[in-house]
Amino acid sequence: MKLVSALLLCALAGSALADDKYTNKYDNVDVDKILANDRVLTNYIKCLMEEGPCTSEGRELKKTLPDALSTGCTKCNPKQKETAEKVIKHLSTKRASDWEKIDEEVRPQGRIQETLRTTFGQECLT
């Protein structure tokens, strides 16, 4: 479960630093390994949706995910943006119903899809 947490934290969130960036603590996580493990990924999705328990990493993700998604990852470093695009593409194509639930849960004023398309391109979400 720590792997998924690290992936999602790296990809989309983290604790904001004084210079208004997310932490790089999880930048070197093996994202492909996490995305390949449905059980672990499902546990973190359940955490985000308040359908299951959260690890400390999951709670941090839940706290910062709305900001990261609504701003198009503007506080992310280049590695985090790359990872975010990979995670979003995976979720939106291979776990579309989960992605829709996450989008509905954390969406600030319904603008996440539009912001992500602008930031990562249409192909990221299709």
Q: Encode the chain in three state secondary structure.
A: CHHHHHHHHHHHCCCECCCCCECCCCCCCCHHHHHCCHHHHHHHHHHHCCCCCCCHHHHHHHHHHHHHHHCCCCCCCHHHHHHHHHHHHHHHHHCHHHHHHHHHHHCCCCCHHHHHHHHHCHHHHC
pLDDT digits (tens, 9 = 90+) for 73-105: 889 889 888 888 888 899 989 999 998 888 777
More confident residue, 36 or 123: 36
pLDDT digits (tens, 9 = 90+) for 6-46: 455 555 544 444 458 887 777 777 779 889 999 989 988 99
Q: Which domains does the chain have, with CATH numbers?
A: 2-125 (1.10.2080.10)
- The per-residue pLDDT for 97 is 95
- The per-residue pLDDT for 53 is 94
Torsion of CA 67, 78, 35, 116, to 10 degrees: 50
